[in-house]
Amino acid sequence: RYSEQFPEGHHLDLRFACTYQLEDQLGSGGYGFVMTAKHRVAGYEVAVKFIIKDKVPDYAWVDDERYGRLPTEVFLLDYMDHKNIVKGIDLFQDQLFYYLVQELHGSPWDKAARKMHTRQQLLQAPSILSAPPLAPSLSMESVDSAGPATPPSPCHPLPPGDSGLMPSRPPCSRRPSYDLFECIEQSPHKRLTEDQARHVFAQVVDAVHYLDAHGISHRDIKDENIVIDSDFNVKIIDFGSAIFVDPSIPRPHYTLFYGTTAYAASEILTKKPYQAAPAEVWTLGVLLSYLLQGVSPFPTVRDAVKGRIILENRIRFSDDAMDLLQFCLHPNPAKRATIQEIKEHRWFRV
């Protein structure tokens, strides 16, 4: 077995095994698990999400013209094209799993496992899709053209934090981590500076604006689902809860909640039918609080229901930042900021 995560006697798809060498585990959950892997010939690293077919909920499938039924998550990584959304590179499958091969974005933020990663090689690699794919395989762009316009930078993460405490999310032993959760944990005061927060938040807002324009709601925006490099360039990952908002229904409402409770909007917590767009804006407000303060704006569910923001009193940030935070976290979804209003907010005009 290549990892504890695979069942006894499991065989990897042969073309995958010939192409990639599995390395470290990045995360795991009920849906499956994520590992890094190295391209055997070109040497660059990728992230591979192993999605257990049986665990993909009924709502999370789409019919693809070319490939038939696919998890929405797999479809979207191919379909979307935005600099702040992680790119799908390839797809494999066996009886149990889809293997969603993605660009490995970011820098490892885990102090113990902070090894150089091979973004440089990724950018220089020839198209990895030149090998004949087995069906179904996504005809994705080559990694070269999907890469960012900015040149790759060496891995210089933030200076280590002033405390050796481990993050509070479920431990995944000593894996390298590339996400914003870890980045915040490793930052000197366990939060970003206001300038860093602005830079990161603007990119996330840009990506969510793009999603909104394409009728897509991510529904699980949070620090763990954003990967970040040492220049604070970020990309959104994990479209496992995403949906297409049906354009034929003028104001569709949802009753079931698929995201993370700490990021759930007031109307979701009070079990009202909710609209996807304002609920997404709320998650952005919670994210903004994590960036600026390192903690949720709401110590209790009651505070969240009322939209009662509790500030960490030792932390100072500008009135404009506070205004945007309040606008995103308005308890009334009709009065909450729209993604357009966030984009145009004066906090970004510095």
* Sign, CA torsion 87/138/51/10: negative
**CB contact set of 173 (below 8 Å; sequence gap of 6+):** 25
Among 225, 266, 275, 293, binds Mg ion (CB under 5 A): 225
Name the residue nearer to ligand ADP (CB basis): 74 or 337: 74
DSSP-assigned letter for residue 125:
P
- What six digits make up the tokens of 286? 């919670």
Length of the chain: 350
Say if residues 179 and 225 touch (Cβ distance below 8 Å). yes
Residue showing the smallest CB distance to ligand ADP in the complex: 27
- Pick the piece of the chain touching Mg ion (CB under 5 A) from 76-84, 121-129, 233-241, 257-265: 233-241
User: C-beta of 92: minimal distance to ligand ADP in Å?
Assistant: 16
User: C-beta of 17: minimal distance to ligand ADP in Å?
Assistant: 20
Say if residues 273 and 255 touch (Cβ distance below 8 Å). yes
User: Among ligand ADP, Mg ion, none, what binds residue 215 when CB lies within 5 to 8 Å by partner kind?
Assistant: none
Q: Which of 90, 110, 220, 229 is catalytic?
A: 220
Q: Cα 333 to chain center, whole Å?
A: 24
Number of CB atoms found within 10 A of residue 333's CB? 18
Q: Which residue ranges make up the site for ligand ADP (CB under 6 A)?
A: 26-27, 29, 31, 34, 47, 49, 86, 102-106, 177-179, 224-225, 227, 237-238, 240
User: C-beta of 175: minimal distance to ligand ADP in Å?
Assistant: 8
User: C-beta of 167: minimal distance to ligand ADP in Å?
Assistant: 11
Q: Cα 55 to chain center, whole Å?
A: 20
| Closest by Cα among 191, 196, 114, 124 to 155 | 114
Residue 58 known to be catalytic: no
Residue showing the smallest CB distance to Mg ion in the complex: 240
Name the residue nearer to ligand ADP (CB basis): 39 or 49: 49
- What six digits make up the tokens of 332? 């009334």
When asked if residue 102 is in the footprint of Mg ion (CB under 5 A), the reply is: no
Name the residue nearer to ligand ADP (CB basis): 155 or 311: 155
Distance CA 194, CA 217 (A): 27
Q: Which residues are catalytic?
A: 220
Residues near Mg ion (CB under 5 A): 225, 238, 240
